[in-house]
Amino acid sequence: MDWLLTNRLSDFNNEWNTKLRTVPLFSQLLPLLDQPNINIPQADMLIAKYLFIANNIPSIDLYNNIIDDLFKASPRELPYVFRAIGVLLRQTEITNENKCKLIENSMNVLDEIDHRMPVYWPCLTTFCQAISSSVTDINVSNLLTEWFTQMLEKCGHISGIMNVILESIIPIWLHEHRIQSSHLPIIVECIIFGQIHQKDKKQQWQAEQIVEQDESFRLLLSNTHIIPEYRYDRNIRVLIQLFVLHIWPSLLNVQQNDIVMQIIAKHRHLALKERRPRFCTNSLEHRIMFRSLQCLLCLTSVIKNSSLLKTIYDYIVETLIKENEPSLRLLSEWIIVRLISEDRKTRLNDLYEYLHHAHQQRTGTVCAWLSIASHIPNLLLNQIEQIEYINKIFEYISPLIIHSNFHIRTFACTTMIKLLEYIERHHLENEIPYEAYRYFKRNDEKSELGRYIMKLQSLFLYQFDPIRDFSLETIFYTLPKLSLIADDEYLWPERFIEISQQLHFTFPISVYNVSTILQSCQAGIWRLTASGKTDIGGIQDEEGSSTIQHKANPYPIVEALDDTELRGSIKRSQLIVVASLIDKQANLGGLCRTGEIFGIKELVIDSIRILEDQQFLNLSMTAHKWLRIKQVQERELKDYLIDMQVQGYTIIAVEQTVNSQSLYEFEFPEKTLLLLGNEREGIRADLLSLVNATVEIPQAGVIRSLNVHIMSIYNEFKSMFIVVGFHGYVFLISGLIINFLQLCSCIIWPFNKELYRKVNCYLALGIWSQFTFIAQWWSKSNCVLYIKPEDLEKVRKEHAIVIMNHKYDIDWLAGWIICQRLGIIKGSKIVGKQSLKLVPIVGWCWIFTESIFLRRVWESDRETLVKDLRKVLANYPKNYFFNLLLFCEGTRFTEKKRLTSMKIAQEKGLPELKHHILPRTKGFTLLLQGAENRIAAIYDLTIGFKENGAKPTLLSILKGRSCQAEIFVKRIPVSEIPQDTEGCNNWVHELYQEKDKIYDYFVNHGTFEGNGLPRIEIQRNYYDLLIELAWILIIGVPSLIYFFKLLWISSLLIQLIFVALICIATIGVRAMIAVTETKRGSDYGETHKEE
């Protein structure tokens, strides 16, 4: 007994297995370990006990006390308990109920251990090994599925968890040759697994990769069994992809179908989702869609079920019609090419049909089918089929060579040349009218078409062969790399080899690519702009109905003042500073001033309109007059950098990367172009791939970020929790005070309705002004009007109904900013849903100011609209005017709602809207009729937020992030609107069709400028600033003084109560912000409802 307790940790396992297993005496020692011993610590007794159990020594009443020991054990002792539980779970005599109870209690104990403790990982490993024998047990599958899902959620911020789990359970699945259907969603989640990590984590992983490349370090890592952290997330995808390919033939048909449908569902969910304005290859949405298509592509090699292949084919064709992002479109094309080979006759007819109706298709879709057409000859089995196909496809491609869209012409010519080269390689000139088409290969290289064809031929798209290059290396490494996807998305072929050898996986896809052609190819030069256009090599892809070629305008330039005498004394360098990614006026003003002092050749910015901004002018100190300034917008930046490289410039990026050199040690060439990054996001990965070198400014501090200008320190301060909480506290207290005063003012109503309305107009101003202060002064957001000057004069002098598109979270706030600047915000009212009146402070204020609330039940709303409007119009104070805001769409815009409403539009024979939901006309018609000609005009507002600002949400505004809005305003006299119900309904639909065109112009041009109305910028006034300062002095400052006194003299309880008030205020404001979020919008319009 003494030997066991003193030597077990060092050589128990060895001694037990070689000498002691057969000694009967040891089976009698186990009960002794449950008895207390004053000479031996309880922890040592517990470990010894479970070493026995883990080595299959029988125990009396083992189950009755193992759960008690589980909760008594410390984290150091838990691995031994988990090993014993694993032994117990494998015993046949244990009941299913006890098995579930053991697993559930073990999960609870494991969840209580902090993952940052060193003992967490041994505990997790032994627990996974313990439950591994139960993963194929149907009685516990639901319990394990729930735990797997929880662990997947943890993987968002803890790397390595799923690695440990999969390494334990996949060998069991392989051994059993089966999987529980309840576990299939976990497999699908692992297929698309992976997060976008912060910059510090990426730098850590890059350092690990560099260390691992050194042979001596690699040997050390293998001997010490240390796994570099960067491998964790990627290992999951490698492991699960190989596992699925290996086990696919063993799965039931229903399980195969479930996996495919779940992957499609993941892709469809994001494809139908309204994408952010800057949807790019580094976004998580893009990566999940890309991973889904990668898996479907691999599965085409193992799926034998023709109906399942048809399901994949139909869905990919559907996505190809809508998808604009090039890397996703390329994978879709690849899948279609592979599936065409499964049913050539039917699917080749689909190809011919799409090319025949090219004029009805989107530009990107036509180019995708042209690309597919270029790969088909490699699929055909014999020369007769090849000749027949080429003769036929030439008939469909030939008309596209003279298509009005330049992009389609370029792709058609390139596809034609590629097919002609195929004819020459296979000596088919005599079988095909080769002579009639070969002149296409003689394009003038100096012509615009010739240059773009050459550029397209230089890309990997032209050299890529979907049959020859079908390998795991191409799918998971080469293709993402050539598609300019971030390098943390690449899966190296060596990892596939390593894992397949460890687990003896077999699969029908080769790991390495048989050809090395793609290794020397140029990456794709493309981008996805906010308007949904795809540019490849500078060719503009005009989607939608437009098929007219657009010539690229030269970059606008503002030259320096022409002072010959002064200019002669200035020595300018060849340095060009590119600041197109910077969007803060203060930073640009400082850069302009600094650049002029140091004599740079040129400053490149995103928009020369910044030269009209007062904040920029204050900081530049007239430097902009003496410095050449060029406008290169962010979406044009990649082409601009390529052009400057051709002109001999060396592109240097100021960014922190693994290969960055010190600014002080780097020798700058004479012709240098310095690329500066965005204040928050730095330089995009696709731009970094073009630079010749990166430099960084050495820093002595801990923080690894030095902003372009010190102004960003203030911006960070504004987004701090305590600052947001202070604003929320002031708003909450002041709002409740105003609501109380409004309640008291109700006494006036029976005696003098006009006085009541005047009082409440000014009381409401105390609340609404806090919103406009946050927008205009705190976040520096701005709003510009496009309106006729004569209409602007009338806004202040008449009652009006305001119709606005409801596409953004804060479109209403942009309208309030304009109302505040015009001095009419105190008369702002809304027509809104009933639930809005329950929103504290804001909703209550709307009640007192007589806004109209609807239940969205037509029978009751019909009476409410007319009754409430007439009530507002009766006895309204003279020289006081109101504006009634109405969203005819009835809910905030989402793509899902739009598609649903367009089904209704088709049923009613109405044109499709691209950017709006089908308007609800009855409410507006009744509102107009109830006005009885006492409302003079309708103001139609179409609002758009520019890309160079922050995301237009109330939380962004509250954190001090600037948004830039433009509003296109049309005044429509009520006398011009039909008064009858049918005529008014038709008028509303026509109005929204026109609004759709106006907003489409904004999407394509990034501005309303040039669309027929003059640009008018109304300057801020100081009323909302003074009101906010007054509230801060009345509420904020005394509260802060009282708070600091409390910290000094009061008890801990009182201090906690005051802190709780601040937290409640913050939570309250966040809850009110949630009301404005698009995702919290009602489901009104998502179901098929008759008006």
Average pLDDT over residues 849-861: 79
- Contact by Cβ (8 Å): 236, 193: yes
Nearest one of 106, 87, 508 to 297, comparing CA atoms: 508
Confidence of residue 62 (pLDDT cuts 50, 70, 90): low
Average pLDDT over residues 986-999: 90
What is the pLDDT, as a whole number, of residue 294?
92
Residue predicted with more confidence, 928 or 458: 928
What is the pLDDT, as a whole number, of residue 718?
54
Each residue's pLDDT tens digit, 499-549: 899 888 998 999 998 888 777 776 665 433 333 334 443 333 333 333 333
- Tokens 């596809």: give the residue: 415
What is the pLDDT, as a whole number, of residue 623?
83
Q: Which two tokens stand for residue 913?
A: 């809207």
Confidence of residue 151 (pLDDT cuts 50, 70, 90): confident
Please state the three-class secondary structure of 481-519 as a single string. Answer: HHCCCCHHHCCCHHHHHHHHHHHCCCCCCCCCCCCCHHH
For 696, list phi and psi in degrees, rounded to 5.
-135, 155
- Kindly state the helix (H) or strand (E) to which residue 467 belongs, with its residue range: none
The yes-or-no verdict on residue 197 having pLDDT over 80 is no
Apex CA 372: angle with CA 371 and CA 377, to 5°? 110
Average pLDDT over residues 465-477: 89
Rounded to whole angstroms, the Cα distance separating 1078 from 1075 reads: 8
The yes-or-no verdict on residue 439 having pLDDT over 70 is no
Confidence of residue 998 (pLDDT cuts 50, 70, 90): very high
Average pLDDT over residues 125-138: 81
Rounded to whole angstroms, the Cα distance separating 664 from 993 reads: 58
Topology, domain 557-707 = Alpha/beta knot (3.40.1280)
Q: Which two tokens stand for residue 281?
A: 């290859």
Each residue's pLDDT tens digit, 664-721: 567 778 888 999 888 777 888 778 878 888 888 765 444 444 444 443 334 445 555 6
What is the pLDDT, as a whole number, of residue 298?
94
Rounded to whole angstroms, the Cα distance separating 328 from 281 reads: 10
The yes-or-no verdict on residue 655 having pLDDT over 90 is no
Residue predicted with more confidence, 625 or 714: 625
Rounded to whole angstroms, the Cα distance separating 118 from 112 reads: 14
Average pLDDT over residues 709-737: 67
Rounded to whole angstroms, the Cα distance separating 916 from 177 reads: 51
Each residue's pLDDT tens digit, 23-60: 333 334 444 444 444 444 555 555 555 555 554 444 44
Average pLDDT over residues 1063-1071: 69
Report which DSSP code applies to 577: E
CA dihedral 423, 428, 434, 437 (to 10 degrees): -20
- Contact by Cβ (8 Å): 686, 638: yes
Average pLDDT over residues 810-823: 89
Q: Beta strand pairing status for 852-854 and 693-696?
A: unpaired
Quote the mean pLDDT of the chain.
77
Q: How many residues does the chain have?
A: 1091
Question: DSSP labels for 269-299?
Answer: HHHHSPPPTT--TTSHHHHHHHHHHHHHHHH
Rounded to whole angstroms, the Cα distance separating 1013 from 789 reads: 9
- Kindly state the helix (H) or strand (E) to which residue 946 belongs, with its residue range: none
Rounded to whole angstroms, the Cα distance separating 250 from 676 reads: 54
Average pLDDT over residues 307-333: 87
Percentage above 70 pLDDT, the chain = 76
| Least confident span in 59-73, 208-222, 329-343 | 208-222
Rounded to whole angstroms, the Cα distance separating 445 from 129 reads: 65
CA-based radius of gyration for the chain: 35
- Tokens 């996001």: give the residue: 681
Each residue's pLDDT tens digit, 790-811: 888 888 888 889 999 888 888 8
Q: Which two tokens stand for residue 654?
A: 């100021």
- Contact by Cβ (8 Å): 100, 140: yes
Q: In terms of pTM, does the model score above 0.75? A: no
CATH of 719-1027, one of 3.20.20, 3.40.50, 3.40.1130, 3.90.1150: 3.40.1130
